Structure 1
Amino acid sequence: MTDRQPSDARIVVRTLSDLARIAGVSAGTASRALAGNSLVNAETRSRIVALAREHGFRPNQMASGLRRQRTGVIGIAIPLGHDQRQQISDAFFMTLLGHLADALTERGYDLMLRRVIPDHDEDWLDRFIGSGMVDGVLVIGQSDQFDRIEDAADGYRPMVVWGNHREGQRHCVVGSDNRLGGRLAAERLIAGGARHIYFLGDVNAVEFDARFAGASDVAQRLGIGITALPSHLSPDRLEAEVAANLDRSFEPGDAIFAATDTLAVASIARLRAMGVDCPGLVRVVGFDDLPLAAHTTPALTTVRQDIRAGAFAMVDLLIRRLAGEDTESIVMPPHLIVRRSA
């Protein structure tokens, strides 16, 4: 009987992640190595290229340098790593997508939309930008995928992201100053008498975490309590989670800062069902200033980010990057919109 020894030769390499795994590097490093990116040292590049050749892996990832003609299509990806059951029908997504579609149409582009669950496809971004089907990519939200987006930005120029900007980041982003927005919300609530703020949102999402951090800056400076209550936007659990989070005896001075207008509206509805007066006993501030914000009862006080201006800025930056320009990120100032809920 012949002993069988394990061999790399029997490993099937179908994806960039498979190749990265046997090379002992990240998918981003593997993609940069195959693209000849000098950020990966020459020895590692040679080893990864040799492994790809040995296993018959022929990548079309990082295809900006391999494509020979334009498609006239821009890809839009919505990664949902932090909230996998959230739907594209979410009010924020639909508002931003509408403005992006308008801006792309004006520039003569069609769009291709992908809703991405990163746990099911860890190469989602490399695969999309290397598909040969799109000229460039717009990413809506960083979710919990900040590092993956950073990796892709090292080897792929025509990509712009809606999200939060961090000092020193490599990917080009358009978005609001979320931390400042959080401060504006907390200051409004505290000026109205808040002594404890409940933050509804999932801080695993980069933008929501920045909003919570901004509110916490103000609360801690002024000696006000603040509590994060994890709340998701997926339709099958939004109402139940809001109800569970608000299942408490509210006291004068309690207030709610919701990470989105959708969560704020759900909170107001739950307070009403509990017989809790808003804004009489509990004041509520949202974030986004979606069209629905002005039509709630009471009308929603919220932090406005200029979604239309941001969408058109994303498309403008992408077109410039397709032309070979280096572009800076754009951080838009948020504005407090005062209505009746706080």
Structure 2
Amino acid sequence: MADIARMAGVSISTVSRALAGNPLIPKALRDQIVEIAQTHGYVVNQSARSLRLRKTDTIGVIIPLAYETGQLISDPFFLEMVGRLADEITRRDYSVLLNKVIVTETGWLERIIQSHRADGLLLIGQSTQHAALNAVSGAYKPMVVWGAQLPGQRYCTVGSDNVEGGRLAVAHLAGTGRKRIVFLGAIDAPEAALRFEGYKKGLAEAGIAFDPRLVVPTPYTLEEAKLTVADFLAKDVPFDAAFAFSDIIALAGIGALTEAGKTVPGDVAVVGFDDIVLARHSNPPLTTIRQDLAFGARAMVDLLFRRMAGEDVASTLAPVELIVRGSSV
């Protein structure tokens, strides 16, 4: 930078401002300095600049996985959410730092924060890490999490009305005459527990007794979910409908049902949750509970930047919508 300043006949600080695009430097002089820098192969050291300014112009997008470690970033839900978040972040001239974290020990979130590689963090999902998120919330404000709103929560979340989603799914299935409705999914993770709560609420409203035999703990990945549903079918427990925690699990269930010689929706009606792109292109097209991921991504990024600016903003809950397709009617 000193060499460029000498060649341009200006101060080092003027070179620094010009290369940063500062409008206080006349455009002709900025262009001259940039041309000299390019000619002599000068590149701004962004790491050094970030250290000096205490600002990285980067947002960290984190996928924390504790019990569902087999899930890939290529999972359709993660892909869509990451893509939408990246669009919103880059629209604000920030870069994206994507990090999938397999949680094996405490302190993982503190280490990410202390690395100072990002100006703020967006987490896709809470996994089993509610306590870890609460632990950093007092000292670290620029963080927003996609997930459920939980009792005693101190960190900021954006999410969908999971209880209402579960209730809508079961109400729809009951409305088509189904009486033996299976729940496919986990029931201990935050969002899963709320969808399961909605499932039971829908059964109660329809006058259908809850049967614990119809609760099938199901992994999140397609192949594992398919095997789990196939094992359940082998037990010959009678059922005529299924509400799945996610579209991926629902699609896996349809695959297992089809291979077992059952028709969808003739023998078994199926409803998923998320409305990923694959849902409308499956065979049959999947009835699902739509989460507005476009709204969710906008809200997460907006709340994060407001928190980065020092605002104390509250969590947001988005409505859900039943999308009826061929898998249930």
Taking structure 1 as the reference length, the TM-score comes to 0.77
Partner of 1:228: 215
CA distance in 2, matches of 1:124, 1:71: 20
Partner of 1:70: 55
* Partner-residue secondary structure (3-state), 1:246: helix
Partner of 2:302: 316
Match of 1:198 among 182, 185, 191: 182
Instruction: Tell me if 1:83 matches 2:68.
Output: yes
Alignment deviations for residues 195-223 of structure 1 (CA, whole Å, 9 cap, x no partner): 12211112222111110111111213423
Instruction: Tell me if 1:328 matches 2:318.
Output: no
CA distance in 2, matches of 1:117, 1:203: 20
Partner of 1:293: 279
Q: CA deviation at 1:187?
A: 0.5
Partner of 2:266: 280
* Partner-residue secondary structure (3-state), 2:314: coil
CA distance in 2, matches of 1:322, 1:136: 7
Q: CA deviation at 1:110?
A: 0.7
Residue type of the alignment partner of 2:227: A
Residue type of the alignment partner of 2:225: L
Q: CA deviation at 1:107?
A: 0.7
Match of 1:157 among 136, 141, 152: 141
Q: Is the 1:82–1:205 contact (alpha carbons within 8 Å) kept by the matching residues of 2?
A: no
CA distance in 1, matches of 2:78, 2:65: 12
Partner of 2:249: 263
Q: Is the 1:86–1:235 contact (alpha carbons within 8 Å) kept by the matching residues of 2?
A: no
Partner of 2:171: 187
CA distance in 1, matches of 2:326, 2:83: 28
Match of 2:293 among 297, 307, 312: 307
- Which runs of 5 or more structure 2 residues have no equivalent in the other structure? 1-50
Identity among equivalent pairs (%): 45
CA distance in 1, matches of 2:321, 2:67: 26
Instruction: Provide closer, same or farther for how the CA distance between residues 242 and 215 of structure 1 changes in structure 2, counting only shifts above 3 A.
Output: same
Residue type of the alignment partner of 2:191: E
Q: In terms of Rg, which structure is larger? A: 2
Partner of 1:92: 77
Instruction: Tell me if 1:249 matches 2:233.
Output: no
Q: Is the 2:222–2:249 contact (alpha carbons within 8 Å) kept by the matching residues of 1?
A: no
* Partner-residue secondary structure (3-state), 2:234: coil
Instruction: Provide closer, same or farther for how the CA distance between residues 266 and 313 of structure 1 changes in structure 2, counting only shifts above 3 A.
Output: same
CA distance in 2, matches of 1:334, 1:104: 24
CA distance in 1, matches of 2:226, 2:199: 24
Match of 2:89 among 93, 97, 104: 104
Q: CA deviation at 1:149?
A: 0.8
Residue type of the alignment partner of 2:203: A
Q: CA deviation at 1:235?
A: 5.3
Instruction: Tell me if 1:142 matches 2:129.
Output: no
Residue type of the alignment partner of 1:137: L
CA distance in 1, matches of 2:78, 2:199: 24
Instruction: Provide closer, same or farther for how the CA distance between residues 166 and 245 of structure 1 changes in structure 2, counting only shifts above 3 A.
Output: same
Q: Tell me how many residue pairs correspond in the alignment.
A: 275
Instruction: Provide closer, same or farther for how the CA distance between residues 95 and 280 of structure 1 changes in structure 2, counting only shifts above 3 A.
Output: same
- Root mean square deviation of aligned Cα: 1.7
Moved more, 154-163 or 188-197: 188-197
Residue type of the alignment partner of 2:167: R
Partner of 2:15: none
Q: CA deviation at 1:97?
A: 0.3
1:16-27 maps to which residues of 2 (within 5 A)? none
Q: CA deviation at 1:67?
A: 9.2
Residue type of the alignment partner of 2:68: D
Q: CA deviation at 1:250?
A: 6.1
1:5-44 maps to which residues of 2 (within 5 A)? none
CA distance in 1, matches of 2:278, 2:264: 17
CA distance in 1, matches of 2:138, 2:154: 7
Alignment deviations for residues 220-268 of structure 1 (CA, whole Å, 9 cap, x no partner): 34233343211112356333223223334364x6210000000101111
CA distance in 2, matches of 1:67, 1:143: 35
- Which runs of 5 or more structure 1 residues have no equivalent in the other structure? 1-65
Instruction: Provide closer, same or farther for how the CA distance between residues 292 and 219 of structure 1 changes in structure 2, counting only shifts above 3 A.
Output: same
Alignment deviations for residues 10-55 of structure 1 (CA, whole Å, 9 cap, x no partner): xxxxxxxxxxxxxxxxxxxxxxxxxxxxxxxxxxxxxxxxxxxxxx
Match of 2:159 among 169, 175, 178: 175
